Amino acid sequence: MTVTQVPQVGHTGGLAQRYARALYDLASEQGNLSDVLGEVKVLRAAIADSDDLRKFLADARMDIRQGRTVSNVLMSKLGFGDVLRRFVGVIADNRRLPDLASILDGVLALDSALRGEVVAEVRSAQPLTDTQRSQLQARLAEAGYSRVSMTERTDAALLGGMTVRIGSTLFDTSIAGRLTRLQNAMKGAA
């Protein structure tokens, strides 16, 4: 396993944080924060699980009307409440649908931070089982991260294993990471 400090750089970091804060504050003011957070998790999982949805959201050729129409249909189909439905409509109107996943991650990270938790972004080659999830929680607790909220993503490019990012710290046990380290070591020996 390799542990490295990696600077977090995102082209939409500040933008995503501002939108995330706006949604969080709106849901808090209206008294349905827990419902909205649940819907945010469901929407984030839907985006992570659907290649077609990610491609649609990333399409720069989409006009505002098209984005608004499809986002309304998606929100209705998934049965989301008025707050998230209107929020995603604003995101579509402002041509920020490519940033929607980052914004949703920002909402979840903000909620975790306000509860005193750290967010661990887990990327694995295969979806984690409940046993693997609990073992990972235990190992993170041993490493000093007792209050951890995990966001999980499946990434076949890892080939096997996983990466866990907590803040600027990256724990890499993936086969792809091992192959990269081996390749770099072989370059150094040549």
- Going by pLDDT thresholds of 50, 70 and 90, the confidence category of residue 4 is very low
pTM as predicted? 0.66
1 falls within a domain: no
* Residue-wise pLDDT tens digits, 88-141: 989 988 888 889 988 998 898 888 888 888 888 899 988 889 999 999 989 888
Domain count across the chain: 2
- In this structure, the answer to whether residues 93 and 132 fall within a common structural domain is no
* CB neighbour list of residue 26: distance below 8 Å, 6 or more residues apart: 83, 87
pLDDT, tens digit (0-9, with 9 covering 90-100), for 34-75 = 999 999 999 988 888 888 888 888 887 877 888 888 888 888
- CB proximity list for 23: less than 8 A, separation 6 or greater: 36, 40, 83, 84, 87, 103, 107
Residue-number span of the structural domain to which 145 is assigned: 116-188
* Same-domain pairing of 62 and 142: no
97 with 16, same domain? yes
Question: In degrees, to the nearest 5, what angle opens at C-alpha 181 toward C-alphas 180 and 182?
Answer: 90
Nearest to 122 by CA among 70, 65, 174: 174
Closest among 141, 148, 152, 178 to 166, alpha carbons compared: 148
2 within domain boundaries: no
Q: Which of 113, 138, 172 is at the close of a domain?
A: 113
Give the largest Cα separation in the chain, rounded. 63
In a domain, 157, yes or no: yes
